[in-house]
Amino acid sequence: MDLYREEILEHAKNPKNWGEMENPTVKVQTPNPLCGDVIDLFLKLEGDPPKITEASFKTNGCVVSVASSSMLTEAIKGKKASNVLKLGEDDVLSWFGGTLTSSRRDCALLPLKALKEILGKAIIVG
Amino acid sequence: MLNADKIRKDFPILSQNVNGKPLVYLDSAATSQKPAVVIGELSRYYSKDNANIHRGVHTLAERATALFEGVREKTAKFISASSPKEIVFTQGTTEAINLVAYSWGKANLTSKDTVLLTIMEHHSNLVPWQLLSKELGFKLEFIMVTEDGYLENPEETIRKVKPKLLAFVHVSNVLGTINPVKKLSKVAHKVGATVLIDGAQAVSHTSVNVQSLGADFYAFSAHKMLGPTGVGVLYGRRDLLESMPPFMGGGEMIREVSLDKSTYKDSPHKFEAGTPNIGGVAGFGAALDYISGVGMDGIKTHTEELTAYALDSLSKIDGLRIYGPRNPEDHGPVIAFTVEGIHPHDLATVLDGEGIAIRSGNHCTMPLHKHFDLVATARASFALYNTKEEVDKLAEAVLEAKKVLGA
Ligand SMILES: Cc1ncc(COP(=O)(O)O)c(C=O)c1O
């Protein structure tokens, strides 16, 4: 099983940045309409132009969406919001090394969708 | 048990490897595989008989019409309807239920009425009633489900609610529960209700006699019973169909049309506007013949034994929970389960790597999943071409998934 290789499973079993955040700048809850799973994403933004200083998440989702959330939150911490907005679907999919079948892509892309939703709002507000 | 080796040879799709392993197809509840005679009939029909029906006097048109109407007769016999006039061809179960909702429902339901459903309904027997209730203002009530997957006090609920329509699933596509249709229809008729049965998961492995079941309407899909996609059946008691207005307007269903009004053909043609899926119906006829050839009794025993065997071997797995009746006699060949610590999608992906096709998700029953506090389940379902060895492979692969995913 390529998809469930060591690195991905490690992220799923011991996800980075797991849990609710106290006093986040922004938070969002995004459902995956295909399976009903839900992801909660929390961000703390500081500075002008805004920078992501903290990111965390919680989800009842599968290995793929947990690992993706874990890797995504790691990848965006300390980055400028404007740069994070440039992250594309291909970037996220590349973390899985082309092992995702088309029905599982949505699981991997759910956290990115949540992130785009929340950042869009944050920047308008900010 | 049936002679699986012999039967499997009839299904060309089964003799392939998937991800390097022999395909183990355990998703027949979503759609069954098709025997070569059905695939062949589609090709034969389009190569030899293809023409539009009920419209031409030429030879091909007459042949196609005779074929189409012949399958209607076959279908009527298959479910023991009293006449082929009680068989309406649709696209599937979903369209059949919508037909009842928009034709019978609009003509018979008012804001004073109640429609009684169960919480184990497929969305196709829930959403049409929600839509219509918004329009007509009738009440929707639900029979609940017990922890072990049976309807909760259905008779009392029917007597109390006194619905105008009772609509429920014959065999649940998740819990596998075989509902007591005959008993509940009787109670419903006593309080004056009309009864609609969603038979999508029953017809493939049970002899259905719509008259002795007491069904006023009975809906099912060809593709879940070895036939092609795009063909379904609505059985309706003749007097009911005769009294109902058309569902869609168009060609095939009219007797006379002037610019300001039309008169309609008798049922079932009144409900079959437009060119139907003639080729699909031909293929469905071949599926019915195939099932009759094998024999429904044999199919029933075979799938019952597989289900009992699977219930037994799956329930031995640590952390695996089965939803639905534990008594195999009450359980159709559909088993929904969860494995502690593993998301159903991950389970299905690991199993796919072993060539095993199961379904994961909510199987179009979100309210039922919510009732059990679940987002998704894994589901294995069996048909006449499955074997005990395949059930063993399923159980082994679940154990393997637990290892891989560390659950
Ligand atoms: C119980 C039940 N009812 C209705 C349906 C809908 O059938 P179809 O999609 O063929 O219209 C299904 C299958 O998906 C089912 O399992």
Residue B350 has its nearest CB partner, among A1, A37, A60, at A1
Whether residue A1 and residue B404 make contact (CB cut-off 8 A), yes or no, is yes
* b (16+ CB within 10 A) / e for B381-402: bbbbbbbeebbebbbebbeebb
For domain A6-121, give the CATH number.
3.90.1010.10
Model ipTM over 0.90: no
Distance CA A72, CA B161 (A): 52
Asked if the B39-292 domain carries CATH number 3.40.640.10, the reply is: yes
CA Rg, chain B, in Å? 22
Residue A35 Cα to ligand 1 middle (Å)? 18
- The pLDDT value recorded for residue A126 is 44
Number of C-beta neighbours around residue A84 at 10 A: 20
User: pLDDT digits over B237-248, tens only?
Assistant: 999 999 999 988
Backbone phi, psi, residue B348, to 5° = -65, -35
Number of C-beta neighbours around residue A22 at 10 A: 8
Q: How confident is the model at residue B255 (pLDDT cuts 50, 70, 90)?
A: confident
Q: Which residues contact B202 (CB under 8 A, 6 or more apart)?
A: B170, B171, B178, B208, B220, B332
Residue (of B203, B168, B192) closest to B182 by Cα position:
B168
Is B405 in CB contact (< 8 Å) with chain A? Answer: yes
Residue range B220-242: mean pLDDT, rounded: 98
Distance CA B19, CA B30 (A): 21
A110 neighbors B343 (Cβ within 8 angstroms)? no
Query: Given a cut of 90, is residue B338 above it in pLDDT?
Result: yes
Q: Which segments in chain A show pLDDT lower than 70?
A: 1, 122-126
Residue of A2, A4, A64, A68 to mutate when probing chain B, most B C-beta within 10 A: A4
Q: How far is A32 from chain B (nearest CA, A)?
A: 11
Which residues of B participate in catalysis according to the annotation? Answer: 364
Residue range B100-121: mean pLDDT, rounded: 98
Distance CA B144, CA B150 (A): 9
Residue B345 has its nearest CB partner, among A1, A13, A35, at A35
Distance CA B349, CA A1 (A): 9
Domain edges within chain A? 6-121
pLDDT, mean over chain B: 96
Q: Which residues contact B89 (CB under 8 A, 6 or more apart)?
A: B72, B231, B232, B233, B268, B272, B276, B277, B281
Residue nearest to atom 12 of ligand 1 (CA): B200
Quick one: fold of B4-26+296-401?
A: Aspartate Aminotransferase, domain 1 (3.90.1150)
Residue (of B228, B206, B235, B372) closest to B302 by Cα position:
B206
Distance CA B199, CA B169 (A): 6
Secondary structure of chain B: what % helix, strand, coil (to 5)? Answer: 45, 20, 35
CA Rg, chain A, in Å? 14
- The pLDDT value recorded for residue A37 is 85
Domain edges within chain B? 4-26+296-401, 39-292
Helices (H), B198-356: 210-213, 238-243, 278-294, 296-315, 344-353
Residue B361 has its nearest CB partner, among A13, A35, A63, at A35
User: pLDDT digits over B52-92, tens only?
Assistant: 998 888 999 999 999 999 999 999 999 999 999 999 999 99
User: pLDDT digits over B281-330, tens only?
Assistant: 999 999 999 999 999 999 999 999 999 999 999 999 999 999 999 999 99
Among left, alpha and beta (phi > 0; psi -120 to 50; other), residue B137 is: left
Whether residue B376 and residue A37 make contact (CB cut-off 8 A), yes or no, is yes
pTM (2 decimals)?
Answer: 0.93
